[in-house]
Amino acid sequence: MLTRSQVKAAQARTAEILEDAGIALSAEEREQVEVASFGLDDLETEGLQLVTYVNTDRYCAKELVLFPSQTCPEHKHPPVGHDPGKMETFRCRAGKVYLYVEGEPAKSIQALIPQRSKDYYTVSHEIVLHPGQQYTILPGILHWFQAGEEGAVISEFSSTSRDEFDIFTDPNIVRVPMMKD
């Protein structure tokens, strides 16, 4: 688990990155930035910061913030009840994103696989997103992503988000929902 002060520091850094990208948050949103370390206790390597703007039973929108070279570990969104699984569109707003999905593997990938967890990164079809570029990930497709050296901001447009049902390749991962300080 991250300490309270680690969470607060990551929240403040996230708000600053968004501000630099021209993205305004309300005071309440700044306080509620979600800091996900996936139970791995190395936020800088494997982690993700999220601001959820809206999540209804019909659609969801978030900003995803990655620190420099930070990685969101490999996972997929399974069907949940009548929902065929989350479908999501990643639109890069700032920085650079290396995104990997199922499909033809790249000969060599540009991202750096976190060594401690390297067995749990299994897909390597590479998509590189710069600001103004986007990619839609279909339900049930394994994917992971990493920021370039400058970090990244991604707007995520999607169907309903039910993070607690996400299936991670790494069995050590615990996807805790909304961590507040």
Under 8 Å between Cβ of 137 and 101: yes
The binder of a second copy chosen from 6, 39, 78, 89 (CB under 8 A): 89
Residue for token digits 């999540």? Answer: 55
Candidate list 29, 163, 166, 181; residue touching a second copy; CB under 8 A: 29
Shortest CB 70 distance to a second copy, Å: 21
* Binds a second copy by CB under 8 A, chosen from 93, 114, 154, 173: 93
In sequence order, the 6+-apart residues with CB closer than 8 A to the CB of 137 are 87, 88, 89, 90, 101, 143
What is the spatial distance between Cα 15 and Cα 23, in angstroms, rounded to a whole number? 9
* Cα distances (Å, whole numbers) of residue 123 to 53, 64, 101: 29, 21, 6
With CB under 8 A as the contact rule, the residue among 9, 23, 109, 113 that binds a second copy is 23
Which one, 129 or 173, has the nearer CB to a second copy? 129
Binding site for a second copy (CB under 8 A): 21-26, 29, 53-54, 56, 58-61, 87, 89, 91, 93-94, 130-134, 136, 155, 157-159
